[in-house]
């Protein structure tokens, strides 16, 4: 055998060995994309970025965040639902992931995606909404508010982030739990909904605690009750609807990481470990502290259980709202 041919055979053998090794090399071997289905600056984006940065340290591969927005998140969620289940395209979804398919069903539309197209990886944060009213309104407690709503059905108005949006669903869950009816004024996003209550154009708003805290402190808004199973840390004097005897009024704006269904179990396990390490990362904790968003890590069966219960409540909520008839 000529030396040149020998050399090329050796090279070939080395290449083959490298390829074989590559096939067995554990996930991940290339950059991972986390899709945030909402624009930069929103809850999904602001959660996704610190999580991705912390996961990068664990997975030793770049983890990038891509904002794929549109149709209240449906565009990005649909994109991940139909992505290759190889663990390289993940979704950072909010509570609305359970609402959109249910609303599609309600209107008889072919659903953009269904929840069972996703494999839950881990819950990252869960923030219960709180009920706020303008400080110049007469209601001092949630009891005043609900009783007045009973006396005047359909008279007390609330703003929301949009029809069937998260802030709308929170109020609907309350209205069914308490057997009252409110007047709904939808806005295009949580920002405009907050502006509306600050301008005194509506009477109430269910909102994430962080964005209303400064307005509570300045005396513009009054918190009445929270939707969580325990009180909000920053508002220890504000009771929960559960305490007040409305156990069905439970609602969280949560953020969780999902992979497309069919992602191999070892990959999912690796991702769960990465997220667990990520939420313990000091940088991540500091980042979430600044946003005043409580970290609530759940994984595996625990997350599945939380997700299923939440999806059931929301699906039920959407069905109870039904199609909206406007005058």
Partner 1 sequence: MLETLQNLAVGFSIALSPSVLLYAFAGCVVGTLVGVLPGIGPLAGISLLLPATFGLDATRAIVMLAGIYYGAMYGGSTTSILMRIPGEAASVMTCIDGYAMARKGRAGAALAIAAVGSYVAGTVSVVALMFLAPPLAAFALRFGPPEYFALLLLGLLVLAYMSGGSMLKALAMAALGLLLGMIGIDQMTGYFRFAYGVVELGDGIGVVPVAVGLFGLAEILATAGQATPPDVIKPKLRELLPSRREWKESAGPIGRGTVLGFVIGIIPGSAHIISSFVSYALERKLSKRPEEFGHGAVAGVAGPESANNSATSGAFVPMLALGVPSGPIPAVMLAAMMVHGVSPGPLLIKNQPELFWSFIASMYVGNVVLLILNLPLVGLFVNLLRVPYPILYPSILVFCVLGVYAVNGSVVDVWIMLAMGALGYVLRKLGFETAPVVLGLILAPMIEMAMRQSLAMSDGHYAIFVTRPIAATLLAVGLLLVLLSLKSLVTRSLDWRARLALAEKGEGHP
Give residues in contact with partner 1 (CB under 8 A).
39-42, 45-46, 49, 65-72, 74-75, 78, 103, 107, 109-110, 112, 154, 157, 162-164, 183-189, 191-192, 194-196, 198-202, 210, 213-215, 217-218, 220, 287, 289-292, 323-327
Q: 206: closest CA among 130, 291, 93?
A: 130
Q: Would you say 109 or 261 has its CB closer to partner 1?
A: 109
Nearest distance from residue 164's CB to partner 1, in Å?
5
Cα–Cα dist 190/239, whole Å: 23
Radius of gyration of the chain (CA): 23
Nearest to 310 by CA among 252, 259, 228: 252
For residue 193, which phi and psi values (nearest 5 degrees)? -65, -40
Nearer to partner 1, 24 or 218 (CB): 218
Residue number, 198 or 277, with CB nearest to partner 1? 198
Burial call 36-69: b when 16+ CB within 10 Å, e when fewer = bbbeeebbbbbbbbbbbbbbbebbeeebebebbb
Q: How far is the CB of 184 from partner 1 (least distance, A)?
A: 7
- Whichever of 30 and 327 has its CB closer to partner 1, that residue is 327
What is the nearest approach in angstroms of partner 1 to the Cβ of residue 137?
A: 15
Residue 293 CB, shortest distance to partner 1, in Å, is 10
Helix, strand, coil shares, percent, the chain, to 5: 45, 20, 35
Q: How far apart are CA 299 and CA 29, in angstroms?
A: 23
Rounded least distance, CB 279 to partner 1, Å: 18
CB of 231 to partner 1, least distance (A): 20
Cβ burial 286-304 (10 Å sphere, 16+ → b, else e): ebbeebebbbbbbbeeebe
Q: Which lies closer to partner 1 via its Cβ, residue 186 or residue 226?
A: 186
| Nearer to partner 1 among residue 195 and residue 305 (C-beta) | 195
- How far is 61 from 249, CA to CA, in rounded Å? 41
């Amino acid at each position: 055998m000529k030396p040149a041919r020998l050399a090329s055979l050796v090279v070939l053998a080395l290449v083959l060995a490298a390829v074989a090794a590559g096939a067995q090399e554990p996930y991940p071997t290339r950059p991972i994309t986390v899709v945030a289905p909402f624009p930069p600056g929103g809850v999904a984006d602001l959660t996704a970025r610190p999580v991705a940065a912390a996961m990068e340290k664990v997975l030793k591969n770049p983890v990038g965040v891509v904002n794929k927005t549109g149709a209240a998140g449906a565009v990005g969620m649909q994109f991940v639902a139909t992505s290759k289940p190889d663990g390289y395209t993940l979704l950072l979804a909010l509570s609305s992931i359970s609402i959109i398919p249910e609303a599609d069903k309600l209107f008889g539309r072919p659903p953009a995606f269904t929840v069972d197209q996703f494999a839950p990886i881990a819950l990252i944060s869960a923030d219960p909404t709180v009920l706020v009213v303008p400080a110049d309104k007469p209601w001092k407690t949630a009891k005043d508010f609900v009783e007045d709503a009973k006396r005047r059905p359909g008279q007390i108005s609330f703003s929301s982030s949009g029809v069937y949006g998260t802030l709308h669903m929170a109020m609907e869950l309350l209205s069914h739990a308490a057997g009252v009816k409110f007047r709904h004024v939808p806005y295009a996003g949580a920002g405009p909904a907050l502006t509306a209550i600050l301008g005194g154009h509506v009477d109430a708003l269910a909102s994430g605690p962080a964005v209303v805290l400064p307005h509570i402190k300045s005396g513009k808004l009054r918190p009445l009750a929270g939707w969580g199973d325990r009180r909000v840390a920053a508002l220890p004097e504000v009771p929960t609807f559960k305490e007040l005897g409305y156990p069905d009024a439970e609602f969280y704006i949560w953020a969780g990481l999902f992979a497309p269904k069919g992602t191999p179990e070892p990959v999912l396990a690796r991702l769960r470990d990465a997220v667990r390490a990520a939420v313990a990362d000091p940088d991540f904790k500091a980042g979430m502290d600044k946003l005043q968003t409580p970290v609530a890590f759940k994984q595996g069966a625990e997350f599945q259980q939380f997700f299923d219960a939440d999806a059931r409540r929301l699906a039920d909520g959407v069905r109870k709202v039904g199609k909206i008839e406007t005058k």
